[in-house]
Amino acid sequence: MLLNVQDLASYFFLDEGELKAVDGVSFHVDVKETVALVGESGCGKTIVALSLINLIPPPGRVVRGRILFDGRDLLRMESDELRQVRGGGIGMIFQEPGAALNPIYTIGDQITGVLRLHRSLGKHQAQKAAIELLGETGIPEPEKRMNAYPFELSGGMQQRVLIAIAISGRPKLLIADEPTTALDVTVQADILDLLAYLQEQYGMAILLISHDIGVVADVAERIMVMYPGKIVEIADTEDLFRDPRHPYTKALLSSVPRLGVGHNEPLKGIPGAVPDFLDLPSGCTFHPRCTIGDSSCTSEFPPLVDIGYRRKCACYKAETG
């Protein structure tokens, strides 16, 4: 087990009240495994990722839990130690590649900076390593691109640069937060291919965060489904698509338009909307939108329990086996 997260909770302390963006989340990621965390916007996926590397912006913070990375608890580390983990152990890429790069430094400066800091390379070595990394991530003419500024690159190329930066410390875990959401579908497919290639090459584990269950279907070995602040289902990708157990997972899958199934069939959406964090329904927060829930669902949030081989679900009504 490379990453083991236990009962993680991260709250934001707002004037309006306590916003429990992540509220008791437990999961693990194995060495070299690709795990996806999916859920709709505003369900807390990104806050899980930011919690892992302790980058939650105030007024938010991690309030409880354990994050064991390679056996060491990230939440109980000194900031120096943690910085080393961020540089070498865990890499991260974000949704908006344009916003994650510094507009006033060249691509080369930004990569060599990281290399010199985390791999203690000299100027020339860093230069060489940076060119190699850019080539590795599929950037054509990497020597030339070293002198380019971010605005001179397309979104797909910017994301490749960020991936190069994220893997420059040879991380064991790459957290990819909506890495393709801002990109076109053909570019998205290229970036997903690249991630799969790099994983193979470097033996990294990937935690892939996405609102798009279609994107993760091709690349993830396991999928975790999140609904405001909680993980409601975890299963191997195939099992999840073939036999979803949580009513939210089922509804989510049936509302995805599928290509090639013919047109003009009404889609099944989910009635209502994802609830507001400051005004969550009691008990299971999905119960107002759920078709199989009853009065027993309104008092307490169901625990995430084993319901079969390698799968967990948080629903009182879910079938087991």
Partner 1 sequence: MSGTVADSANALLTVSGLETYFPFGNRWFGKREWVRAVDGVDLTVRRGEVLGLVGESGCGKTTLGRSVLRLVEPTRGAVDFDGVDLLSLKGRGLRAMRRRMQIIFQDPYKSLSPRMQIGQIIAEPLRLHRIVPEHEIEMRVQGLLTKVGLEPYFMSRYPHEMSGGQRQRIAIARTLALEPEFIVADEPVSALDVSVQAGILNILLELQRGEGLAMLFISHDLAVVEHIADRVAVMYRGKIVELAETDRVIGSPLHPYTQALLSAVPSIDPATKRKRIRLPGEPPSPIGAVVGCPFAPRCPEAQGVCRESAPALEPKAAGHFAACHFR
Q: Does 103 bind partner 1 (CB under 8 A)?
A: no
Comparing CB distances to partner 1, the nearer of 7 and 218 is: 218
DSSP codes joined into one string, 21-35: EEEEEEEEE-TT-EE
Q: Does 17 bind partner 1 (CB under 8 A)?
A: no
What does the alpha-carbon distance between residue 4 and residue 67 come to, in Å, rounded to a whole number?
Answer: 6
Comparing CB distances to partner 1, the nearer of 79 and 186 is: 186
In the complex, least distance from residue 80 CB atom to partner 1, rounded to whole angstroms: 40
Interface map 243-262 toward partner 1 (x if CB under 8 A): --------xxx-xxxxxxxx
Q: Does 57 bind partner 1 (CB under 8 A)?
A: no
DSSP codes joined into one string, 132-196: HHHHHTT-SSHHHHTT--GGGS-HHHHHHHHHHHHHTT--SEEEEESTTTTS-HHHHHHHHHHHH
Q: Does 264 bind partner 1 (CB under 8 A)?
A: yes
Tokens of 118: 């985390």
To which H or E segment does residue 234 belong?
strand 230-236
Name the one range near partner 1 by CB under 8 A: 17-25, 52-60, 206-214, 305-313: 206-214
Q: How many residues does the chain have?
A: 321
Name the one range near partner 1 by CB under 8 A: 11-19, 26-34, 197-205, 270-278: 270-278
Q: Does 270 bind partner 1 (CB under 8 A)?
A: yes
Q: Does 291 bind partner 1 (CB under 8 A)?
A: no
Comparing CB distances to partner 1, the nearer of 17 and 269 is: 269
In sequence order, what are the beta bridge partners of 38? Answer: 210, 225
234 and 224 Cβ atoms separated by less than 8 Å: yes
Tokens of 51: 């919690």
Q: What are phi and psi of 103, to 5 degrees?
A: -70, -20
In the complex, least distance from residue 102 CB atom to partner 1, rounded to whole angstroms: 22
What does the alpha-carbon distance between residue 321 and residue 318 come to, in Å, rounded to a whole number?
Answer: 10
Q: Does 193 bind partner 1 (CB under 8 A)?
A: yes
CA–centroid distance for 53 within its chain: 12
Q: Does 238 bind partner 1 (CB under 8 A)?
A: yes
Selected binder of partner 1 within 205, 217, 231, 234 (CB under 8 A): 217
Question: Measuring CA to CA, how many Å separate 34 from each of 174, 176, 214, 292, 308?
Answer: 9, 10, 15, 32, 21
In the complex, least distance from residue 13 CB atom to partner 1, rounded to whole angstroms: 23
Q: Does 16 bind partner 1 (CB under 8 A)?
A: no
Q: Does 213 bind partner 1 (CB under 8 A)?
A: yes
Selected binder of partner 1 within 34, 137, 188, 285 (CB under 8 A): 188
Q: What are phi and psi of 205, to 5 degrees?
A: -90, 150
314 and 232 Cβ atoms separated by less than 8 Å: yes
Residue 240, CB-side half-sphere exposure with 13 Å CA sphere? 31
Selected binder of partner 1 within 68, 196, 274, 280 (CB under 8 A): 274
How many residues touch partner 1 under the rule CB under 8 A: the total is 45
Q: Does 189 bind partner 1 (CB under 8 A)?
A: yes
Interface map 127-156 toward partner 1 (x if CB under 8 A): ---------------------------x-x
Q: What is the binding site for partner 1 (CB under 8 A)? A: 40-41, 154, 156-157, 184-190, 192-193, 211-215, 217-218, 238, 241, 251-253, 255-271, 273-274
